[in-house]
Structure 1
Amino acid sequence: MGVQKLDNLVDESKLLEDITLKNTDIVIDAPNVYYFLYFNSVPKLDQSHGGDYSGFKEEDCKVTPHVILDGGSGPEKFETLKSRLQNKLVNAKKMAEGSPDSNILPPLIKDVFKQVLTERNLQFEESFGEADPRIASLANELGCPVLSHDSDFYIYDLEGGVLPPSKFLWKMTEGGQITAKCYRRSEFCTRFSIDPALMSVFASIAGNDYSRLEDKGKFVKKYPPCKMSNNWKLDRLRALLEFLSTVNLRNLQDSEEKQKKALKEAFMLVNVQMDERPFLESIRKYNIGPVKAETHGGVLAQWMCDKIQEGKLTSFVTDVLHHKRMMLTPLVEDFSQPSSYSAALHIRQYFYGLLLGQELCTEFDRVDEKSVSQKDVRPLHPSVSQDKLQQLQLQHLDQAPEDLRRHVLMEALESPDLVLGNVPDHMKLPLCVTNFWWKYRQRNHTTAPNKQYVCALLLGFVYGEHLDPRESVTLI
C-alpha cells in the first residue's frame, strides 16, 4: 500500500511529533488497522489454522472512531492486486512450512471486523471502491487525524495529520488521554525542501499502486544521498526528493502546472519516452475534494448497498458485480495438494449465478506453490420453475420466499434430499456442509477418509456447542 519504504524514511528522519489525544475525533482506515491489530496482538494470534477470529475480537481500542472500510479496487490497480496475491501465496507457503517470519491474514478477517463493530454498536461506513478519498475528505471535514499505516496518507494534505497505529498507545491511557505520534505533511516538505504540490508527483514516480517511473538508478547517480544506506529503496526516495527540490517552479502558481513541470523534468532525466497519463491520473488521486458517504454502489441493488453498510453482507459481492472477478486469498495448507478452494467451487458457482446471471466470473487461485492462475467460471442456477427464477432476480432477491432461498442453499450444498426433520436447527447447516464435503471427497479421492479427520470434525461440533474455547479439552 502506498509508497514503499516511505514510512521508514519518515521514522529515520524523526519527523513524528509527540501528541496526546483527548475528546477528539479520529478517522480510522479500517483495513490497515485490522491488519495491524491482527499481526501485532499479544499474545500472537494463530495464522496457520484458518485464523484466530475469537482472539481477534478481544482486541479493543478505547476511542470513539469514524471507521471507513474499502469495498474493492478498480481496474487501474489490477496488476497491483495480482502482485499482492502472489506475495500472499509466498507467505502462505512459508507459513505452512513453519516459518516464524511470515504473516498472512485469514480470509474472513474483514467480515469478522465488521461483526465486532456491529456487536459493539460502533458506526462504520463501507465504500464501494477505494476508501482513501473518503477517509481523507472526512478527516479534513472533521479537522482530525487519520489512524493508518498506509503511506499514501503521508502524501495527502491532511489538516490533522496521520497517526501510525504502532505509535498510537491506546492500551496505555492516562487521565483519559492517549499518547501518540503524529505525521504532518508540512513538516516533511520543510525537511526535504519541496513544494507541497509536488508530494503527489513524488508518490507517482517513486511508485505507488498506480504508477512508477523506472529509472535504472539514474536518480541516485545524479542526486546521491549525503550518506548512502544499506537500503537501495530508501536511497532512491531521498534522491527523488533531492531532485524535486531542484525543480524550478518560479512564476508557477497553479499546482497542476507545477506538477506537470516536475513530471516532465523527471522524464527528461531518465531519458525515456513514456505515456504521462497514468502518472497524471496517479497524481490526481491525492487531490482532496468533498467526498460524501456512499449510499449506492452503481450496479448493486439498493437493498445490497444497505446490507453492506450495515455489515450484514460480505463485500465480496462488490468485486464480483463490479469487475466479474474473485480473488481467492491463499490459505496456509498442504501445497502438494490442490487448492482448498477447489472443494467449494460448486457453491461459488451458485453464488455467481445469483449475482451475474449467465455471465462468467474470473477466479484467481493458486495452481501450485509458486503460481496463480485465472480461470473463467460458469455460473450455476437452481433447478426451479421460471416463475421462481424470476423471484431470484438480484434486484429483489431479498424478497424471495424463505423456502425458496433455503432450496437454493440446499441445492448448492448438494443436499436437497437430506432428511433434516429430527436434526436440531443449529446443526442443520453443519450437517449439510459435512454431507457436501463427504460427496466431494468420494468423487475426488480413491482412498478412504482418514479417521482422524472425521473425529476432528465431530470434536469441532461438540467443542463449539458445549465448551468455552479458552478451556482445555481432554480426549479419552
Structure 2
Amino acid sequence: MGIKGLTAFVKDFPKAWENFELTQTKLIIDGNNLLYFLASKATFDSRCGGEYSDFYKMVRSFFASLVRNAVTPCVLLDGVDNGDEKLATTQTRHEERMGKARSLVGALAGYSCDGFFPPLVHQVFLRAVANLGVDVIVCDHEADVIAIARARRDRCPLLSNDSDFFLANLPDGVVPIYSLEWIRDDDRGQVIYCQRFQRDLFFKSVGLESEAHWRLDPKYDFGPLLAVLFQNDLTDADLLIPIYQKLGVGRRQFRGIINKLRKKYATVLDAEIDIFGSEGQLHACLVATKEFYYGSVELKETVSSALGWDKLPFPKWVIAALRRGDFSLFALQAASLRRVFLLPQVETVASPCSHNASLHIRRVLYDITVPRRRGGGKVTVEEHRRRDNGEDPVIVPVKVPRNLPSLSCIPSLSQSERRAHLIRTIVGEWNCDIDYIKPVEFVLPMVTLFCWAYQCKEQPAKNAIRALLLSFTNCYALLKDWKPSREFHKRERPRGLINFNDGLATAIARWQSIFSSSLHLNAVLRLPLPQVNPAYFFDGFLVQRMYAKCKQHKDFLSNCKQRDLFEKMWTFLVKNKPERKAGSKTESLSPRRPSAKIKKKQKKKMVVQGSRFACLKIEGESSSEDD
C-alpha cells in the first residue's frame, strides 16, 4: 500500500529528482504494482467481465518498449498473504470491491471504476510477460523485500509507484512507473525518458545527515525510523499518538517530524533510543521495518507457513513451478492459510453467487493441495464471497473430501492420466473425442464452455453460448500473430455499450468462475493441457455485442475472423449435447414479462397523496424476451 501522502510530499523537493535515461541497464520491477497501473490505464468497461485482449496488448507493448531500449527487466510478484498481519485490510478491500461490483450492475458505463478489475488480469499479465521471455519470479509473500535487496545488489533502478521504496537505501534510486515515457510518436533513439528519485539527495534537501549511502547498515539509516514515524503498513496508528505528542507534531506532518529529528537528535541511534526505547510494540515495529528495508536477497527452497509449521510439505516441483509463475497462487493460499477470497464479479444481486458454478472444481483443488492433518480429521477451507441472492459478504466453510492423491503423487501420473482427471473433474464423464478439438489451445476453454452450457444449474441461453464461442474464435485470430505497434495506442475506444445486458453479464460471470478454477487445477496437475492465456479467448465487450447481434437474428458470422473454426466448434457442442437433467432450466437473459395474474395485482396497488388517489405503474412491467 505504501505510506499515505509520502509521494505528494517528496514531489515538493525537486532537487531529489533527476531526469534519467532508462537504457542499457537491468531493471527490478514491482510486478503487482505495474500490473494494477497498466490495468488502470486500460480502457476496461468493467461491467462486461474484462477486455483482456487490449490489456494483453498493453502489457506486451510495455515490455517490448523496455527490451527495444536495451533494458533487461526482472519482474517480482507477490506470493500468498503473510498470515493474519493484513487480514483486516484484505477484508476491507474485498468488501470495497464487492460494493464496486454492485454499483456497476445497471450502470451506463463502467470505465471509471477505480480499483475494480476483471478476475483474470493476473493470469493475462503472467502469460503476456512469459511469452516475451522476461525473467519472472514469484516470492513467498510480498515481493518488496526481495525487490529492494536485488536492486541494491545489482546496482540498478527499481520501478514502482509504491511510496515505501522512497525511504529505501537504493544507490540507483527509484523510478516511478507514472514517469516513464514508454509510448512515443517519434524515434528519438533507443532511450526511455523518466524521472528518478534519489533518497540521499532528498535527505540533503531536508537537512538530514545520513551515512547509510556508504555504510549499508540500518544502524546509520534514517529511512526505517522515518517510515515508522510516517506510519507505514507495519505500524499501528494508535501507537504513534504519544510519540507525536512528545515531538509536538501532528499525524502525517512529514516536514514537522523531519525538523524535530534534525534539531533534537545528532544521530539515528540517539533518536531511536529516545523515541522507541529497547522494547515494546513500537520497538517491534521498528525492527520489522529494518528487516523490510535490509532483508535477504535469496529465496528459500520452501514456502514458509503462517499456521505455525516450520515449512509446508510441498515437493520441489511445486516450489520450482511457483517461482516461475506456473503454479496456482490461489491453491497455495488455500493450502497455507485455509482461507481464500473469491474475486467479486459484476452480477445481479438477486441471483446466486457465480462462484457456486465452480465449487465442484475447487473442492478437488483443495483436496490435492491442502496438507493432511496428523491423525486424519476433517479439513475445511474458508471461502469469502457474496451471499447467495444478496449483496452481503459471507464466509462459507468448504469441506475437503480427502479421497485424492497429494501433490507429491502428481509427477508419478502420466500426462494422459492427469488430463483425464482434469476433464473428469470439470465435466464429469467425458465421452467426447478430445482430439477433435484443434488447435490444442482450445481444449480447456471448450471443456469449460461445455460445463457452463450444459451442467450449470442455471443454463445459459443458446445466443449467450454463441456469443461466447464467437469471442473464442475472434480473439484467437486477432492475437495469435499480433505484434506491438504504435497504432494500438493511438486508436479510440468506444465509450460504453448501448444495449448492455446485466443478465448476460451474470451468466458470463459463472463461466469465468469455471474457467478460472480450471486454470488453477490445470496448474496444480502439472499442466496436462497447455497453459491458456485468457486474452486469446475472452473479450466481454465483444460478447455483449455478439449477443445483441444473435438476438436480433442478424448475420452474426459476417465479421467472424475464423468462420470455419466457429462452425466446427459449434458442431462439436451440438453433437455432444447431453440429455437435460431433471430440474435444470435454461436461464432467460432478459427480464420476464409479468403473468396476467401478477399484472392484475399490480393494478390494484394505489397510493394516497393528500386527498388524491393515483394508480402507480410498477417499473419493468414490459420488456423484451430472449429467444
Check whether TM > 0.5.
Answer: yes
- The Cα shift of 1:134 comes to 0.9
- Contact 1:77-1:210 within 8 A present in 2 as well: no
Question: Quick check: 428-437 or 358-367, which moved more?
Answer: 428-437
In 1, Cα distance between the equivalents of 2:259 and 2:168?
A: 20
Is the counterpart of residue 180 in structure 1 residue 181 in structure 2?
A: no
- Contact 2:224-2:289 within 8 A present in 1 as well: yes
Using a 3 Å threshold, how does the CA distance of structure 1 residues 245 and 123 change in structure 2: closer, same or farther? same
- The Cα shift of 1:291 comes to 1.4
In 2, Cα distance between the equivalents of 1:216 and 1:260?
A: 18
Partner of 2:316: 302
In 2, Cα distance between the equivalents of 1:278 and 1:161?
A: 27
Q: Secondary structure at the match of 1:25?
A: strand
Partner of 2:576: none
Q: TM-score, normalised by structure 1?
A: 0.81
In our comparison, the structure showing a higher alpha carbon Rg is 2
Partner of 2:102: 93
In 2, Cα distance between the equivalents of 1:136 and 1:329?
A: 29
Q: Deviations over 1:22-75 (max 9, x none)?
A: 21221111111121112124xx24433222222122222322212211212202
Question: Quick check: 289-298 or 102-111, which moved more?
Answer: 289-298
Using a 3 Å threshold, how does the CA distance of structure 1 residues 35 and 220 change in structure 2: closer, same or farther? farther
Partner of 1:49: 48
Q: Deviations over 1:255-306 (max 9, x none)?
A: xx643433369x9xxxxxx833652344234332441144443423211122
Q: Deviations over 1:352-404 (max 9, x none)?
A: 0010156322222233876433332112456xxxxxx4xx3211313313343
In 2, Cα distance between the equivalents of 1:65 and 1:429?
A: 31
Is the counterpart of residue 317 in structure 1 residue 331 in structure 2?
A: yes
Q: Secondary structure at the match of 1:316?
A: helix
- The Cα shift of 1:411 comes to 3.6
- Contact 2:101-2:346 within 8 A present in 1 as well: yes
Q: Secondary structure at the match of 2:151?
A: helix
Of 464, 482, 492, which residue of structure 2 is paired with 1:453?
464
Q: Deviations over 1:171-219 (max 9, x none)?
A: 3473222211011222333333446534323333433332232367995
Q: Secondary structure at the match of 1:51?
A: coil
Partner of 1:230: none
- The Cα shift of 1:115 comes to 1.2
- The Cα shift of 1:99 comes to 5.2
In 2, Cα distance between the equivalents of 1:193 and 1:129?
A: 35
Equivalent runs, 1:92-131 vs 2, <5 Å: 92-96=101-105, 97=107, 98=109, 100-103=111-114, 104-131=116-143
- Contact 1:157-1:185 within 8 A present in 2 as well: yes
In 2, Cα distance between the equivalents of 1:245 and 1:366?
A: 51
Is the counterpart of residue 377 in structure 1 residue 398 in structure 2?
A: yes
Is the counterpart of residue 148 in structure 1 residue 163 in structure 2?
A: no
Partner of 1:212: 236
- Contact 2:137-2:325 within 8 A present in 1 as well: no
Partner of 2:621: none
In 2, Cα distance between the equivalents of 1:400 and 1:437?
A: 28
- Contact 1:319-1:326 within 8 A present in 2 as well: yes
In 1, Cα distance between the equivalents of 2:242 and 2:281?
A: 20
Partner of 1:280: 286
Is the counterpart of residue 27 in structure 1 residue 28 in structure 2?
A: yes
- The Cα shift of 1:143 comes to 0.9
Question: Quick check: 89-98 or 350-359, which moved more?
Answer: 89-98
In 2, Cα distance between the equivalents of 1:69 and 1:306?
A: 15
Of 164, 174, 191, which residue of structure 1 is paired with 2:205?
191
Of 407, 420, 423, which residue of structure 2 is paired with 1:394?
407
Instruction: Calculate percent identity across the aligned residue pairs.
Output: 23
Partner of 1:436: 451
Q: TM-score, normalised by structure 2?
A: 0.63
In 1, Cα distance between the equivalents of 2:352 and 2:259?
A: 50
Q: Residue type of the partner of 2:412?
A: Q
- Contact 1:420-1:428 within 8 A present in 2 as well: no
Is the counterpart of residue 201 in structure 1 residue 225 in structure 2?
A: yes
- Contact 1:20-1:180 within 8 A present in 2 as well: yes
- The Cα shift of 1:136 comes to 0.5
- The Cα shift of 1:159 comes to 1.0
- The Cα shift of 1:450 comes to 4.1
In 2, Cα distance between the equivalents of 1:177 and 1:421?
A: 49
- Contact 1:111-1:311 within 8 A present in 2 as well: no
Of 81, 97, 105, which residue of structure 2 is paired with 1:73?
81
Q: Residue type of the partner of 2:41?
A: N
In 1, Cα distance between the equivalents of 2:329 and 2:478?
A: 31
In 1, Cα distance between the equivalents of 2:347 and 2:204?
A: 49
Q: Secondary structure at the match of 2:379?
A: coil
Q: Secondary structure at the match of 1:276?
A: helix
Partner of 2:265: 249
| Structure 1 unmatched runs, 5+ | 226-232, 268-273, 383-388
Q: Secondary structure at the match of 1:26?
A: strand
In 2, Cα distance between the equivalents of 1:94 and 1:293?
A: 41
In 1, Cα distance between the equivalents of 2:98 and 2:246?
A: 35
Q: Secondary structure at the match of 1:48?
A: helix
Q: Secondary structure at the match of 1:413?
A: helix
- Contact 1:128-1:318 within 8 A present in 2 as well: no
Of 291, 298, 303, which residue of structure 1 is paired with 2:297?
291
Equivalent runs, 1:461-472 vs 2, <5 Å: 461-463=472-474
Is the counterpart of residue 39 in structure 1 residue 40 in structure 2?
A: yes
Using a 3 Å threshold, how does the CA distance of structure 1 residues 437 and 3 change in structure 2: closer, same or farther? same
Of 339, 364, 370, which residue of structure 2 is paired with 1:350?
364
Using a 3 Å threshold, how does the CA distance of structure 1 residues 47 and 295 change in structure 2: closer, same or farther? farther
Q: Aligned residue pairs: how many?
A: 443
Using a 3 Å threshold, how does the CA distance of structure 1 residues 420 and 178 change in structure 2: closer, same or farther? same
Partner of 1:386: none
In 2, Cα distance between the equivalents of 1:244 and 1:90?
A: 42
- The Cα shift of 1:149 comes to 0.5
